[in-house]
């Protein structure tokens, strides 16, 4: 479990040695910079359900639940097809908004064990996931321009 930029590097490294990589984005709209790179790298199969608006203070809307469910389907399909490395980008953040059930993600972890390397990014991994995982990385944000009023920049934040 780690941050997206580390996951992108891992995807490129794995594809470089011939592993089949499935990169599934949760909580994103499919327009971040890594998508353009993935299109030019053999062995990386990228999936994103499409537009994902920010979840505002009123909470998730039906589109958010649909997006998470579709991305989860993509992840299951990748495991069933025998991908070597499955990266579920921002899947842990679906738990913060109750978009996916812990039980479903736990089942995915079980399906992957011994067959597929699974990387899950996002925040606040549940303790039970940490205990099930082989690797856990926590990146701590110290300072970020967003909190001073700056908008996200293409190629830097997404």
Bridging pattern class, strands 44-47 and 21-25: parallel
Report pLDDT for 57. 84
Q: Would you give the distance in Å from CA 62 to the centre of its chain?
A: 20
- The pTM assigned to this predicted structure is 0.89
DSSP state of 51: -
Report pLDDT for 40. 94
Sites in the chain below the pLDDT cut of 50: 1-2
Quote the longest CA-to-CA distance of the chain.
45
Report pLDDT for 122. 93
Report pLDDT for 4. 59
Sheet of 21-25, strands arranged across: 44-47, 21-25, 85-89, 117-120
For the stretch 121-133, pLDDT in tens is: 999 999 999 999 9
Neighbours of 19 (CB within 10 A): 15
Report pLDDT for 103. 97
For the stretch 30-49, pLDDT in tens is: 888 889 999 999 999 999 99
Tell me the CATH class for 4-148: alpha beta
């Amino acid at each position: 479990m780690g941050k997206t930029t580390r996951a992108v590097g891992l995807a490129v490294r794995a594809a470089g040695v011939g592993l089949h990589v499935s990169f599934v984005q949760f909580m994103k709209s499919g327009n971040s910079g890594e998508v353009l790179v993935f299109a030019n790298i053999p062995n990386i199969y990228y999936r994103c359900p499409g537009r994902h608006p920010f979840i505002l203070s009123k909470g998730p809307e039906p589109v958010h639940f649909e997006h998470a469910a579709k991305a989860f389907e993509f992840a299951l399909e990748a495991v069933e097809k025998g991908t070597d490395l499955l990266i579920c980008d921002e899947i842990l953040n679906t738990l913060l908004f109750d978009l996916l059930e812990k039980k479903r993600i736990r089942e995915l972890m079980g399906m992957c064990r011994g067959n597929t390397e699974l990387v899950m990014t996002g925040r606040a991994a549940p303790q039970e996931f940490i205990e099930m995982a082989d690797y856990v990385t926590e990146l701590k944000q110290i300072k970020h321009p967003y909190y001073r009023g700056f908008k996200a920049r293409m190629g830097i934040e997404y």
